Chains A and B, each alone.
Chain A
Amino acid sequence: MEQMIEKIKQKVNSGELFRVNFKTTPVDYEMNQLKSINMEETEGWALRVIHDGKIGFSSSTSQNQIDGMIEKTLEVAQFGQVAQFDFPGQVTTANEEKIKLYDEAVKEKSIENMIETGNEIVKRVLSINSDLRCDAGISKQDGFIQYGNTKGASFHYKKTMLSNSVMVQDTKENDMMMLMESLHWGNADSSLEPLWERLERKIKWSEQIIGMGSGSMPVIFTPKALLVLILPFISGLNGRIVNKKISPLQDKKGQLLCSPLFSMYSDGTIDYAGASAPYDDEGIAMQRLPLIEKGILKNYYYDLQNAAEAGVKPTGNGIRSGFHSSPSPGVSNLIVSKGKTSLNEMIKDIKEGIIVDQVLGLGQGNVLSGAFSNNVQLGFKIENGKVAGRIKNVMIAGNAFEVLKNIVAVGDKARWVSGQYCFPHIYLKSLSVSTKQ
């Protein structure tokens, strides 16, 4: 990489080179059977330059293309956005040592061992009910991320990820129950037990289908479903959206936005979490950034360009969605603080209401405005403090910014969803629920 940086130095005012190499091995089960094994290797290089004050970007799958990339970036930089920043001259080394991201045991995991895990998943699902259909995926990944720029900053780190996911389906005449659970983590130590517990509980709750009427009622969002309410915050707190003056949350720093029970952080420093890293994708140290604390808006999140435009410090949220994309503001791991109420206490508290566990149409519609409207793909009705059965053909709708003002309670346990979001249960006082008459 150093030689390439030298080359870049000769041709452009300043530049940065970003490289990823990922090796992923998924073992896939379909319909209770082992179906395929893949071996996937991705190698990518991205060059971003600032030349004559403007930004240019190009990417390639081969380091042999460096001359072509330099030429391309210079060509596109002529039309590029005016740079408000320059690349960092150094990175802090502290984070590199502090955050654990790599587990040799994940990298060394044998395909045979992954097949064993897959077989166990299928076996356990079928032992709950032999009529179920189970699809599963066991996947290991090891990655290498490298960064260097012409100002002298450089870093690299290795990262592993182990994923176990399972989809359970129960099909009857004109009815299908579909349940998805997964565990993603950076080391090989996590147990599958919590996954069983959730699966078994929800399969049991699903056995009986129960009718219900429309209206406003109390709703509990499980950690898996909570993203419905969080997505509008992810976009509304994005520094780029704020700079463009299209965020409903702009100019609200320091204001009480949600219930004081609600706190949320972007935190890229958690050992083995999916979005953790010593640095973001432009060399700024990852940190724990309070977004909302006790209902009060604390911070927006930024990459270098947008932080400079806003006149604030970058927050370590310059994220690339793949090597083809230049950095823009993105959340790292997102943590909603846990509260004090157990799920059972929440259920007991509700005379008539629902639990939402999976929705259809996540992120569909005008997310920016906070509006959501989703089919409850998997949900349960609560009657007189007890789960009475599974609901069908039910829609929930509302505005996330409004409904999070009315939180009754926050769950006393939080859990990781997709390896990146750590959420508790959230119990809302009232939400609009529509159903077939």
Chain B
Amino acid sequence: MRNRLTEALNSQKSQKADYIEIRLENYESTHIRFQGKDMEKISSSQEMGGNVRALVKGKWGFVTFNGWDDLKNKTKQAIEIATLIGNQTSHLTETEPAVEYLQAECGRDFRKISLKEKAAMMKQYSNIMINYNSKIQSSTVNYADRYTTVYFANSEGTYIQHERPYLSVHFTAIARNGDDVQIAQESTGSIKGYDSAEQLSPIAQKTAQRAVNLLKASSVQGGEYTVILDPILAGVFIHEAFGHLSEADFLYEDPRMQSLMKLGKRVGTSELNVVDDGSLPGLLGSSKYDDEGVLTRKNYLIKEGILSGRLHSRETSARMEEELTGNARAISYHFKPIVRMTNTYIEQGKTPYRDLFNDIKKGIYARQFYGGNTTFEMYTFSAGEGYMIENGRITEPIRDITLTGNLFDTLHNIDGIGNDLKIIESGGGCGKGGQQPLPVTFGSPHIRIQKVIVGGSR
């Protein structure tokens, strides 16, 4: 394969491309969905495709295709369309060419597990949920596995062949009481093989329990509150509200945005540290190299409350004259690598998390998540469950909790960080530029934030 890619790259040497890369990919996948006691969908897919990305005088040409034929011609096409618009100097930070054959480091290979065994396991989970309580109207278990091999080569001599197993299980429980329909969701994702799909019965149980509990919860009253976020929601917050702003591709050409995200700016208390680290072993967002063949590493985004780094591709790194971070990622061959997070978390603080509740007269304890979204300084995310806090104690269950605000105000308003850091491997993923769901992890200890706006319908 290496020869094939090198040949295609070399065939266009006479053309005036500043940089060319070819990515080929094939995968096999299985998908199983149980709805209640019944198997609703089961399918098996295989896909083969690739892309060529060429940089000519500062502009990109990008060609994607299915099948692996005619790579020379595809390469030529990419150069041609880039040449049509190239009109400036290309900037890419240099990186050491790498040649690597990376095997998957997983336990049991899910390709060797029979459909029968997978289906039986998911049926067991589905039964746990549907049988939990008569209020459970419906439940869904979604199982997906995908074994991908990526072949990457560029015109600078890098060749990386990488096996990437990925597996996820999603649980949804729907509880109903008359017209009141409540949903709870849990999921898990992993790059460690089939072992991670086993022993999920407690999660199935918890999903059903949460859905039923939501029926008893009342809608939150809109307003401004002191909130405590559990590690999941705090992790989503730091990923959505802050992490995306650290992605240099949205600001490298925008001087005003850069001044707002100027390194050295104080954004929080000295207890606040935020990290993105793609080099952590075995997590969903982990990989030795990013999708431009750059080594991943630990990057501090906020250190002791000071904005101290951001995430880069080779192009944004060159344009902003900052070091490479290994954060160019592409979800598949359909897409160009763009700047993405990997494993993003708030570092451990010192406060035992129970102490964060002390002194809160009226607040909200928000847990779990439905989803989150951000555009620059504005963020919004929804909690999967929550409770009122009154005089330091957790009281009535509440629901339909959506938190929103201005990121910078919110970061400054984090006035308590627990000592219970947890990294979350969910089966969902991050979305950006149509590339969704990209496997990432996020994490945090419990945190306390003052003055958060909560939307509510009463």
Contacts and interface: CB of A to CB of B under 8 A. Distances in A.
Same complex origin of A and B: yes
Interface stretch (A9-17, A122-130, A279-287, A371-379): A371-379
Interface in B52-105: 59-67, 77-78, 81-82, 84-85
- Provide the main secondary structure of the chain B interface: strand
A399 B181 CA distance: 12
Interface in B307-337: 334, 336
A146 interface: no
Given A111-B81, A326-B41, A76 B176 contact: no
A361 interface: yes
Contact of A246 (B59, B176, B405): B176
A245 B138 CA distance: 8
A398 interface: yes
Interface in A30-72: 30-31, 33-44, 56-62, 65, 68, 72
Categorize the interface residue count of chain B: 35 or more
Interface string A200-223: 000000000000001000000000
A246 B138 contact: yes
A366 B224 contact: no
Given A365-B402, A369-B183, A434 B223 contact: yes
Contacts of A43: 66-67
B194 to A, nearest CB: 17
B453 A61 contact: no
Nearest to A30: B253
Contacts of B65: 41
A393 B377 CA distance: 10
A398 B115 CA distance: 43
B81 A435 contact: no
Interface string A302-323: 0000000000000000000000
Contacts of B46: 59-61, 65, 68
Contacts of B189: none
B64 A375 contact: no
B182 interface: yes
A396 B455 contact: yes
Contacts of B219: 371
A126 B45 CA distance: 47
Contacts of A396: 455
A78 B260 CA distance: 58
Contacts of A37: 59-62, 81-82, 84-85
Interface string A62-91: 100100100011011011110000000000
B42 interface: yes
B222 A61 contact: no
Contact of B381 (A246, A361, A393): A361
Contacts of A437: 223-224
Nearest to A399: B457
A365 B408 contact: no
Contacts of B458: 432
A92 interface: no
21 contacts: A30-B253, A36-B336, A38-B62, A39-B61, A41-B66, A43-B67, A61-B48, A80-B39, A246-B137, A248-B179, A360-B379, A365-B371, A365-B402, A366-B370, A369-B181, A371-B400, A373-B401, A373-B402, A397-B402, A434-B454, A436-B451
Given A61-B49, A176-B375, 9 more contacts: A39-B64, A363-B371, A364-B371, A369-B181, A369-B182, A373-B401, A375-B378, A434-B222, A436-B405
Interface of B: 32, 35-36, 38-49, 59-67, 77-78, 81-82, 84-85, 115-116, 119, 137-138, 174, 176, 179-183, 219, 222-224, 253-254, 256-257, 260, 334, 336, 370-382, 399-402, 404-406, 408, 451, 453-458
By Cβ-Cβ distance, the 8 closest A-B pairs, closest first, are A395-B455, A434-B222, A373-B402, A364-B371, A36-B60, A57-B43, A31-B253, A61-B66
